[in-house]
Structure 1
């Protein structure tokens, strides 16, 4: 694999993560338990879609085929996506959505902080802008996890169930492949495994405050970030997200 090809794969991974999770979070619009949360989740989704525009816009530029970020978002099939399996998991109840958000945010902030030091100025610039939003997302999701985990008996049980369900997907964030190795050697992006220790510290601190028990470590469920395997949930999500562009190719407002 050439370095340009590896760089393109990396940019897809970053953009697809925020695209798919941004869409998932947007599904709460008009359905959140209270108005304040409805607005907060909508704003979180908008932040992530904005980051997607930057990552996929750069990916399209690097690909050099005259495509746009919209082309990459709406005209690829499920097997072409490079997002973490975690972000395509269903919303479930409000607790599951916020637990998924917290786990992602805890990783995302560390990734973006490292990318601000990238040897590629374009990557560093996107990361510098995105990390401010991601830091706010982490503060908010962590606070909500603590409030619900250390809340009522019902909210505690739901948050523990959400953690048990989602934790097997955490390990994929830190798997290293040839793409990661090539970019780490070039100083463009960090080795994913190098972020694990600080991530675990964040989880231990927040989950401790939330009186939640971290499940026993299990084999990481992977395949999303290298496109080898996605869950059935991604196909259903893309059917909803892409149907307008698929039904009316080239449509513009």
Structure 2
């Protein structure tokens, strides 16, 4: 199907739908081979899918927090749509993780019934929203990096990952363009907007190093042609960011800092737990609810 959201209304009529995205999601696209690639460890693939899925899910929750708070109604709609795109990416990735590790957990179980220490998202996506300029800077960094990852992941030896990445790359190209346009508008705008955008970039820049630090699972799966080594995306990501900042008359911060132990190992800031509490509250209070 073109959009996983169509399935909420059409494909699950004979299944018991639950909180979140609805149960019953079976494949990234009809006809995609869901068998594990030969020689690939299911636990490794599941963890990699959780990494990518958690990045999208947590980032989506942060963006949704701008609803009723963005500077213009049009931006609330735009940010909500970006968040929905990311949820659409998270859904098949988390579903794939539950099948690959043999637990049979669906996307709802992984989204709503894991604690913060079990999430494997990068710290960039859990960082506080701050003001609109800071959120713009974070979206610019995230979308630029994730687009570089997904463009490469479209050639994955895992057909499911390849299908998710091929579709997701088109969405991420829009997300990056949206962030670029606002970075230019704020950076090359008034003195006040320039100062706020400068502060926003400075706030998210220290989190950049983690994006390019390979986890052992990423290294193993990249060698098998399944995953992307994030170190390979560094030159492209930093290059794009440098060009955008220059066009926006913004000074580029210092070189990319070395990564500290981070989200890929389940080491998170104090921001993630309350964010997840907000995300998971209804599903945990009513775990068997249907609609």
TM-score (norm 1): 0.96
Q: CA deviation at 1:221?
A: 3.5
CA distance in 2 between counterparts of 1:66 and 1:8 reads 11
CA distance in 2 between counterparts of 1:199 and 1:215 reads 14
TM-score (norm 2): 0.84
- Is 1:197 the counterpart of 2:235? The answer is yes
Unpaired runs of 5+ residues, structure 2, are: 1-39
The aligned residue for residue 208 of structure 2 is 170
**CA deviation vs aligned residue, 1:196-226 (integer Å, no higher than 9, x gap):** 1111110110000111112113332441022
CA distance in 1 between counterparts of 2:167 and 2:192 reads 38
The aligned runs of 1:75-114 (5 Å cut-off) are 75-114=113-152
Decide which of 176, 183, 201 is 1:145's aligned counterpart. 183
Q: CA deviation at 1:247?
A: 1.3
The aligned residue for residue 79 of structure 2 is 41
Decide which of 136, 145, 165 is 1:127's aligned counterpart. 165
- Is 1:243 the counterpart of 2:281? The answer is yes
The aligned residue for residue 218 of structure 2 is 180
CA distance in 1 between counterparts of 2:187 and 2:41 reads 44
Give 4+ residue runs of structure 1 displaced > 4 Å after superposition.
Answer: none
The alignment yields a C-alpha RMSD, in angstroms, of: 1.1
How many residues are paired up? 251
CA distance in 1 between counterparts of 2:211 and 2:144 reads 11
CA distance in 2 between counterparts of 1:49 and 1:184 reads 24
- Is contact 1:85–1:222 with CA below 8 Å preserved after alignment? no
The aligned residue for residue 224 of structure 1 is 263
- Is contact 2:215–2:264 with CA below 8 Å preserved after alignment? no
CA distance in 1 between counterparts of 2:240 and 2:213 reads 19
**CA deviation vs aligned residue, 1:140-185 (integer Å, no higher than 9, x gap):** 1111111111111111111111111110101111101311111111
The aligned residue for residue 71 of structure 1 is 109
Unpaired runs of 5+ residues, structure 1, are: none
SS of the residue corresponding to residue 225 of structure 1 reads helix
